Amino acid sequence: VVCASAAFLLAPYANERWPDGPMVEAWGSFMKWGDAIGVGAFAIIGAHCGLRRKMPYAACVLFGLMTATFGGITRDVICQRPVRVLHNNREQYATVALCSAAAYIATTLLGFHPAVRVASGVGTSLVGRYWATHRDPAQLAKMLP
């Protein structure tokens, strides 16, 4: 709580003091990867809740998608930023959440250890967001049958 409060209070000062400094780039990169981990984590949480309620597997994947994307929408609205799920054609957001939830469900059905299941969901999110930021997302559509 103390660290979060200090970051909240000092961040505006740091941006005023060094508007284009090295912290801006580092902070942006940190936020990007932190967001990717969050997308994977919330996709897993939603999918797991569906599994606990004995829902069909497709519904569990959709629960993961909705949980992850609604969290991102809420964050963007609170921060008064454009909602990435709706307005950003550069980064795959909902697709990554869907794939993360599907990876978690698949590894659960295959009987893997819970740590492996979580790693598969978060790893899928990290790889998907990396792909989306470093390559043209339209390339993915060309690769699909």
Q: What is the pTM assigned to this prediction?
A: 0.76
What local confidence, expressed as pLDDT, does residue 68 receive?
Answer: 92
Report the distance separating Cα 40 and Cα 43, nearest Å.
5
Cβ-Cβ contacts under 8 Å for 94 (sequence gap 6 or more): 65, 68, 69, 85
Domain edges within the chain: 36-139
Tokens of 32: 């990007």
Contact 100, 125 (CB under 8 A): yes
Burial of 34 (0-12, 13-18, 19+ CB in 10 A): exposed
Regions in the chain scoring below 70 on pLDDT: 14-28, 87-91, 136-145
What local confidence, expressed as pLDDT, does residue 15 receive?
Answer: 63
What local confidence, expressed as pLDDT, does residue 31 receive?
Answer: 77
